[in-house]
Amino acid sequence: MRINNVIRIMVIGDFLTNAGFSVFAPIFAIFFTGQIEGGTLAHVGFAAAIVQIFKSVLQIPIARYLDKNHGEYDDFYSLISGSIVVASVPFLYIFATNVSHIYIIQAVYGIGLSFVIPPWYAIFSRHLDKHHESIEWSLDSVAIGIAASSAAALGGILASKFGFHRVFLFGGILAICGTLLQIKIFKDLKGKVAQGAVKPLPDRNP
């Protein structure tokens, strides 16, 4: 089975970004309670909630705005700008010293996700290869699962040997790589299309 260029790039980009955040996911609560002044387990829960609140509040309005233009360039710009914001989050953790800093970073994280998720699903859905929809959605799910499991296992080892800041640095670099990779889909997108009319282009690589 041949997978078109857009789907392949988006799956690999998703793998890298999820690996970047999964590498510090298992140790984030320890970092928060041990390294952040005044940090408690309750604050960890509130921090997780802040991400989802900002994402949930902003995601639908952004999606509605993107749907007004039946083209893919606006989706692309939303995807990349949001991905840049999301990729900055691990680096921001390095400079956090108190609870309010973490809360602000979590809000930034949620805002970034709200710009990423709607266009990611839109572009991915439009470019699915006919008769391979289930397989290609499953490929992304498998990529996320492998990224999460392998990076989580690695993150604990890295944190114990090198400390939290280097883990955040490594995670941020992976997320940036995922963002930069997604820029490559631009050449396969269309500025104006009828709704549902985007057809996957054949793979240009041998």
Per-residue pLDDT tens digits for 49-82: 999 999 999 999 999 999 887 788 999 999 999 9
Q: Which residues pair with 98 in a beta bridge?
A: 37
pLDDT at 204 over 90: no
The Cα 100–Cα 105 span in angstroms is 9
Report the pLDDT value the prediction gives residue 3, as an integer from 0 to 100: 83
Per-residue pLDDT tens digits for 147-202: 999 999 999 999 999 999 999 999 999 999 999 999 999 998 876 655 555 454 44
Contact 115, 82 (CB under 8 A): yes
Contact 183, 16 (CB under 8 A): no
Q: Residue 86: name the closest of 16, 6, 37, 188 by CA.
A: 16
Backbone angles phi, psi at 36, to 5 degrees: -100, 130
The Cα 11–Cα 68 span in angstroms is 26
Higher pLDDT, 205 or 138: 138
Per-residue pLDDT tens digits for 85-107: 999 999 999 999 999 999 999 99
Q: Which residue segments constitute the domains of the chain, with CATH numbers given?
A: 5-187 (1.20.1250.20)
Amino acid at 121: Y
pLDDT at 113 over 80: yes
